[in-house]
Structure 1
Amino acid sequence: MTGDYLTRIGTLIRTARQHRGWSQAQLGEALGTSQSAVNRIEQGKQNVSLEMIARIGEALDSEIVSLGYSGPMHLRVAGGTRLSGAIDVRSSKNACVAILCASLLTTGRTTIRSVARIEEVYRILEVLTSIGVKSRWINEGRDLELTPPAELDLAAMDVEAARRTRSVLMFLGPLMHRAQHFAIPYAGGCDLGTRTVQPHLTALRRFGLEVATTGGAYHASVEPGAPMDRPIVLTERGDTVTENALLAAARHDGVSVIRNASPNYMVQDLCFFLEK
């Protein structure tokens, strides 16, 4: 080893020894060597074999040199210092996707601040623009402006983009207020195993949505929903199924009570948007 590496290793050994509360003599005794030998090692003035480094680490209960071992790491934290400052936080992809779908509930302009510019957001945007929604990035690309048309061109939906995101399921809630009959492709997205869409269909049926799953698409038809004289009980406490029920309830007459709803942050962000 070169002198520079020996010095750095020696410093690590000295720090670990002092942290253990040992003297050089105590470490030497544990290693079966002399105090002067330990001193030379810590000064970087003696070659050290990998075997010796391993023995020192075992004696001090401290991994001196990591060789890709995935076990626990030893950290020493000197606390008691007041911290201050500011950082820029990334915005929520899940909340943004829900609000993108919710923009279909209105024909007015929607502006979303601090949009997460990631793939799933782009996929939903591709679907929205394919059915006639105008989108425009503003404020140096940080914010997004959406303007749906008076009539959506659902027949022109970008099937490829829709199949690449499971979030397209959240089109069911708002589209039932925009069209009596429509279809969306089977939802795809991340590979997390088989996940049923039945909780969505069960919840939305109470609002008058009936769905037949044939030919690689969900074929939806809308009839006037029954009065909400009893709560809707979700069969799955999921974020997207809660959001779908919220999107359907937002333009449904009367008061809707949703039981077993997810309280996660993205659901709350959607609620804030719907309130506005």
Structure 2
Amino acid sequence: MGNLIRDARRQRQLTQTELASALGTSQSAVARIEQGKQNLSLETLARISEALDSEIVTTVTSNAPVNLRIEGGRKLSGEIDVRTSKNAAVACLCAALLNKGRTTLRDLARIEEVNRITEVLNSIGVKTRWLPDSSDLEITPPERIDLDAMDEGAARRTRTILMFLGPLLHEFEEFKLPNAGGCDLGSRTVEPHLHALRSFGLNVVASHGYYHATVDADRHPDKPIILTERGDTVTENALFAAAKYPGTTVIRNASPNYMVQDLCFFLQKLGVTIEGIGTTTLTVTGVAEIDQDVEYYPSEDPIEAMSLLAAAVVTESEITIRRVPIEFMEIELTLLADMGMKYELSEEYTSNNGHTRLVNLRTIPGPLKAPKDKIHPMPFPGLNIDNLPFFAAIAAVAEGQTTLHDWVYENRAIYLTELTPLGVKVQLMDPHRVLIEGPTRWRPAEVMCPPALRPAMVVLLAMLAAPGESVLRNIYVISRGYEELDSRLNALGANIQTFRD
């Protein structure tokens, strides 16, 4: 900003003293402004723009980021349903590319991540439409996919584009995809994906912003595929490849996580035989052609369930969270119980997918103490990697010091330092570990949303706890994973308003 002002002043052939006189300030103040060492209000910028006859700041409301204004320190109460899973939704959307018939995904999360994928699908010829007065998405494939027409802008904004590799190797001998985007979580190599898919003849070279893929259609697995990383999307890509191979494929070191299980249940509806669902060894017998009209209900999102649970903890509130996928929350709840949290669970019932076990969970406010050991994620059935950041907000209200070890991602632990303006004592020990000391004396603050979904949500939760008015700017990353979050939390008693600058 200082450079812009300096250049505009020079273009008008004014000295710093002359500009200072026009602004009613000192030459030294103008010097500080141009060096970037002076805070500037919008009013001051407007006066500078007028003095220099130059538009230093322009407001473009149509494309301006959405922000949140949060009045914190309010108790929550009432009941709230967990929505269906973001990650299961994107897996099933990609799997729909395998089906020549019509796929209807019921009660889908209407989030930005789904919007980006549907934009990509629409651009390559797939017809998608939301059925009237519902959250049901109907997907109808074309006779031939037109990859040359792909909306690259949408594709580069989501890492999900990597999950097109498995379905497309059945359709093309050669194709290219834009480099993947999504959350900024450090260097995340795609090599585990390529290792898994080489057995199906896929070879990929990354250059000039694209993945260039060639497929040897005569090559098929002749021995079990051993995944080098027990990753969710890596396992899903291997399942896409195996689903239309008419032989039997054994996938070892597979992720048994919630979204992988949902994908397996969906593929079974397409006629694919899968044994070992929920374990690290999957035996898949595919079918050469899939052409049938199917409908499927993705199950509820354990990460959203954890988000809502953390909201209750940091605001010291009693709420009932309905439709919690308990199988994927048991470790988290056990850790919280060890920290002193009390809660009640209902009897189990079944999700609309016919498989996932659900409960209703009532939170009971009470003091927490820091755990004796560090908290770290593990592959399912361990603590979910995406649930780890929420323990930062929970640790902030617990008595004592809590160490979080996010060993998977290089950057994500760093984003938790964004809690500092809100009063949280956060010590970054290294790129993977943070030390949090509670309880926190909360204070309101204005914070730019971190570029990663779960840390961004943690900052929002902290703002719910901090008495006073906080502002969270540019919440697109939160909209990638949460649907109508502000109105749903407001229904519990929060006060969250959206606005654009």
Pairing partner for 1:202 from 195, 205, 224 = 195
Task: Report the counterpart of residue 176 of structure 1 in structure 2.
Answer: 169
* Structure 1 match to 2:130: 137
1:190 aligns with 2:211: no
Residues of 2 paired with 1:253 and 1:225: CA distance?
Answer: 13
The answer on 1:223 being equivalent to 2:216 is yes
Please say if 1:254 is aligned against 2:247. yes
**Contact 2:235/2:254 (CA < 8 Å) preserved in 1?**
yes
Q: Does 1:88 align with 2:81?
A: yes
CA distance, structure 2, for counterparts of residue 214 and residue 87 of structure 1: 46
CA–CA distance in structure 2, aligned partners of residues 121 and 227 of structure 1: 32
TM superposition shift of 1:86: 7.8
Matched with 2:267 is 274
**Secondary structure at 2:249 match in 1:** coil
Q: What is the root-mean-square deviation of aligned Cα atoms in Å?
A: 1.8
- Structure of greater relative contact order (alpha carbons < 8 Å, 6+ residues apart): 2
Cα distance, 1:139 vs structure 2: 4.3
User: Partners in 2 of 1:178 and 1:140 — Cα distance?
Assistant: 34
Residue 235 of structure 1 corresponds to which residue in structure 2? 228
Partner of 1:151: 144
Give identity over the alignment, percent: 68
Within-5 A mapping of 1:11-22: none
Query: CA offsets per residue over residues 256-275 of structure 1, 9 Å max, x none?
Result: 00010000010010001111
- The 5 A counterparts of 1:10-159 are 88-159=81-152
| Alignment TM-score, normalising by the size of structure 2 | 0.38
* 1:88-140 Cα deviation digits (max 9, x unpaired): 32000000001100111112100001111111111111100000000110141
1:132-161 per-position Cα deviation (integer Å, ceiling 9, x unaligned): 000110141310000010100110001111
Q: Displacement, 1:226?
A: 3.3
Give distance in 1, aligned partners of 2:195 and 2:234: 10
Offset of 1:230 from its aligned partner?
A: 1.3
Mapped partners of 1:88, 1:139: distance in 2: 22
Once residues 145 and 109 of structure 2 are traced to their aligned partners in structure 1, the CA distance between those partners, rounded to angstroms, is: 25
For the pair shown, the structure with the greater C-alpha radius of gyration is 1
How many correspondences in the alignment?
A: 194
Counterpart residue identity of residue 171, structure 1: F
CA gap 1:235/1:168 in 2 versus in 1, 3 angstroms? same
Q: Which amino acid aligns with 2:245?
A: H
Counterpart secondary structure, 1:98: helix
* Cα-to-partner distance string for 1:24-43 (whole Å, 9 max, x where unaligned): xxxxxxxxxxxxxxxxxxxx
Q: Which runs of 4+ in 1 moved over 6 A?
A: none
Structure with the higher strand share, 1 or 2: 2
SS at match of 1:228: coil
Report how far residue 202 of structure 1 moved: 0.7
CA distance in structure 2 between the aligned counterparts of 1:193 and 1:225, rounded to whole angstroms: 36
Structure 1 residue 192: Cα displacement: 0.7
Q: Distance in 1 between matches of 2:264 and 2:182?
A: 24
Give structure 2 stretches of 5+ with no counterpart: 1-71, 73-77, 270-501
Provide the C-alpha distance between the structure 2 equivalents of 1:134 and 1:237, rounded to a whole number of angstroms: 33
Q: Distance in 2 between matches of 1:179 and 1:229?
A: 22
Whether the 8 Å CA contact 2:122–2:128 is kept in 1: the answer is yes
Extract unaligned runs of 5+ from structure 1. Answer: 1-67, 69-84
**1:211 paired to 2:204:** yes
Aligned-residue offset at 1:180: 1.3
- The separation in 2 between residues aligned to 1:87 and 1:166, in whole angstroms, is 29
Is it true that 1:165 corresponds to 2:165 in the alignment?
no
TM-score scaled by structure 1?
Answer: 0.68
CA deviation after TM superposition for structure 1 residue 87, in Å: 5.2
Q: Deviations over 1:184-203 (max 9, x none)?
A: 00001101111000000011
| Aligned residue type for 1:127 | V
